[in-house]
Chains A and B, each alone.
Chain A
Amino acid sequence: MRLFILGAAFATLLSSSAFAQAPDKILNSSYDIARELFAKVNEAYVSANPGKTIDQSHAGSSKQARAILEGLDADVVTYNQVTDVNALVKGGAVSEDWQSEFANNASPYYSLPAFLVREGNPKNIKDWGDLVRDDVKVVFPNPKTSGNARYTYLAATAYAKEKFNNDPEQVKEFVGKLFDNVPVFDTGGRAATTTFVERQIGDVLITFEAETRGIAKEFGEDKYDVVVPAMSILAEFPVAIVDRVVDKRGSREFAKSYLDFLYSEEGQRIIAEHGNRVNNEAVAAEFESQFPEVRLVRVEDVFGGWDKIQEEHFASGALLDEIYGQR
């Protein structure tokens, strides 16, 4: 009897994941801290499109891209790294022109590296320049392992490039000083948060603006202040249809309508409620007070694109290794 039940359970699970795939169900492969956001988005989408189901997979987005290349049948991806979608392009799962398939470079929302400081901002940290002061301890994860921290590295570098007129030596010195002020390099964003919040290390935590609000909400809004610097780097949250999968399953239309929903006013409002900045003007106006003005520079404009960044900054032995190795 038990064997029978087991067998039945086994068969049900098998069929739900491999066979009997009705096109009224798609899988969204997403990054690790977007669980709540997409739970809300999906709820709204399903109530507007009864009978549809969106399954969610969440993990670090590089790992997620790898899983798709290895056969995970995700119909759409919603990531926090353009490079991870590009990995899917290189693997032949996503078409090369994915960024033109949806508005704003296929990025329905965006964020930026911002600062979370302790209540009342006792060290008076306002901008990137303050982070290299001798009396300031900074916390962010290791850029070698964390996509989040790569944006921090790029934002600090972009700031230094402007300040020192692109003088490579001075830029390197600035970023080096910033790294010197980091007492611990954790491997991921969540661990860095623990270092800052629970171990009480550091004066400022650098992470996506969207997340600074989440952290303040979870650990006490009266204990932390969010500081948005005058300039930062635009962090896109790219979405794409996984052609390999939707062509096989016949779910392209569904996938497209789901991603389109992220751009709709309703979708944008939910996204903004979770601390992300959106392009929809009406919604952006609604949430104006939540998002201080900031001048954002683009990765493409400052660094000439992700491939170039990889080669010049993040590859083994490149600039990041040089700076990191000096410590």
Chain B
Amino acid sequence: MSASPSGKPSRVGDTPLVRRTLITLVLLVGAVLVLAPLIVIFAQAFSLGVGAFAATIAEPDTRHAIMLTVIVALIAVPVNTAFGLAAAWAVTKFDFPGKRLLIVIIEIPFSISPVVAGVAYLFVYGLQGVFGPALADANIQILFALPGIVLASMFVTAPFVARELIPLMQAQGRDLEEAATSLGASGWRTFWSVTLPNIRWALLYGVVLCNARVMGEFGAVSVVSGNIRGQTNTLPLHIELLYHDYQTAGAFAAASILTVLALVTIVAKVLLERQGAGRRSRVSVAAPVLLAEGQRP
């Protein structure tokens, strides 16, 4: 995350030639792997003209897919942020038996293929699954409706925030929190005034990653969505549908919207960071001041 300070002595082998070769290589790979496909998406989206692009976006099914994707993100990202914060807090600030196990559990979704996660949900909530028949009797629809999509998205993105926070919070230790507590601040107050200001950039980064992944999730959602157009088709599923239907320009138009949604979150992150960078020095000074305030009852 943090940029290394300038004026560092050059390391062994860090000759201009090596440096230039490495930079060229990274730029080249970046251009081929990331930039080129991005350009292609937008070029293809507008290949049939702006009119065709607008027509795809104006189609009710596409609009619904966009809306559904945003709704899923609006639910899944805050929940996972709260979960990630709580998990990171528990793991780094407390000692308890089973701590390592908890870390492993948090990371499981990283190592499991999303499709497997989707199928697992089928086995739990499906009509042939564990809770399916009881849920059907109670007329509660989880699979092939919004709850299933949200659950699957949350499963896949559960580790993002926690994984960003745990290393940072581990490195920062508990000294500040302990000081705050000894000065009489409540747990809540300690969190808001001490912990949060220290972790907010990592937290923001975790939220951005989580959001990007929720919006782009395909595998798990594809299994539990039911693919009902205008109801349970998220944007990635809609793109696949258009693509299979030989609506190449339409598929790329929808893909460009998804790309824009992702880019918006990344740009927002950069802007927030830039705005915050100026204040960062003040924040570290401000923390003790706030703490002193916390002393007063």
Listed in ascending order, the chain A residues whose CB lies under 8 Å from chain B are: 2, 6, 9-10, 13-14, 16-19, 27, 32-33, 35-36, 55-59, 64, 66-67, 69-73, 91, 190, 214-215, 217-218
In the complex the two chains form, is A6's CB within 8 Å of B74's CB? yes
Q: Can you show 18 pairs from A to B with CB atoms below 8 A apart?
A: A14-B146, A16-B231, A17-B141, A18-B139, A18-B140, A18-B145, A35-B229, A35-B244, A55-B229, A55-B231, A56-B229, A57-B232, A59-B222, A67-B227, A69-B128, A71-B144, A72-B143, A218-B248
Shortest distance from the beta carbon of A35 to any chain B beta carbon, whole Å? 4
Apart from A35-B241, A35-B245, A57-B232, list 6 A-B contacts with CB within 8 A: A18-B145, A55-B231, A57-B226, A58-B227, A70-B129, A71-B144
In the complex the two chains form, is A70's CB within 8 Å of B127's CB? yes
In the complex the two chains form, is B226's CB within 8 Å of A67's CB? yes
User: For residue B126, which residue of chain A has the nearest CB?
Assistant: A70
List the 5 closest pairs (A to B, CB-CB), nearest first: A70-B126, A18-B141, A71-B127, A17-B145, A218-B246
Bound CA span A56–B232, Å:
10
CB within 8 Å of A: which B109-140 residues: 122, 125-129, 132, 136, 139-140
Shortest distance from the beta carbon of B161 to any chain A beta carbon, whole Å? 19
The verdict on B147 contacting chain A, using a C-beta distance below 8 Å, is yes
Which of A10, A214, A215 lies in contact with B146, CB distance below 8 A?
A: A10
Shortest distance from the beta carbon of A146 to any chain B beta carbon, whole Å? 12
Q: Which residues of A contact B228 (CB under 8 A)?
A: 17, 27, 55-57
Tell me the number of A-to-B contacts counted with CB atoms below 8 Å: 101
Shortest distance from the beta carbon of B274 to any chain A beta carbon, whole Å? 26
In the complex the two chains form, is B141's CB within 8 Å of A14's CB? yes
Q: Which residues of B contact A91 (CB under 8 A)?
A: 128
Shortest distance from the beta carbon of A93 to any chain B beta carbon, whole Å? 9
In the complex the two chains form, is A72's CB within 8 Å of B74's CB? no
Q: How large is the interface on B (under 10, 10 to 19, 20 to 34, 35 or more residues)?
A: 35 or more
Bound CA span A91–B244, Å:
28
The verdict on B243 contacting chain A, using a C-beta distance below 8 Å, is yes
In the complex the two chains form, is B132's CB within 8 Å of A71's CB? yes
In the complex the two chains form, is B139's CB within 8 Å of A19's CB? yes
The verdict on B230 contacting chain A, using a C-beta distance below 8 Å, is yes
Bound CA span A18–B148, Å:
13
In the complex the two chains form, is A9's CB within 8 Å of B141's CB? no
Bound CA span A175–B141, Å:
47
B 68-84 binary contact with A (CB < 8 Å = 1; else 0): 10010011000000000
In the complex the two chains form, is B241's CB within 8 Å of A14's CB? no
Q: Which residues of B contact A27 (CB under 8 A)?
A: 228
Q: Which residues of A contact B146 (CB under 8 A)?
A: 10, 13-14, 17
Bound CA span A18–B226, Å:
13
User: For residue B222, which residue of chain A has the nearest CB?
Assistant: A59
Shortest distance from the beta carbon of B61 to any chain A beta carbon, whole Å? 9
In the complex the two chains form, is A36's CB within 8 Å of B144's CB? no
Q: Which residues of B contact A19 (CB under 8 A)?
A: 139
In the complex the two chains form, is B122's CB within 8 Å of A70's CB? yes
Q: Which residues of A contact B127 (CB under 8 A)?
A: 69-71
In the complex the two chains form, is A57's CB within 8 Å of B229's CB? yes
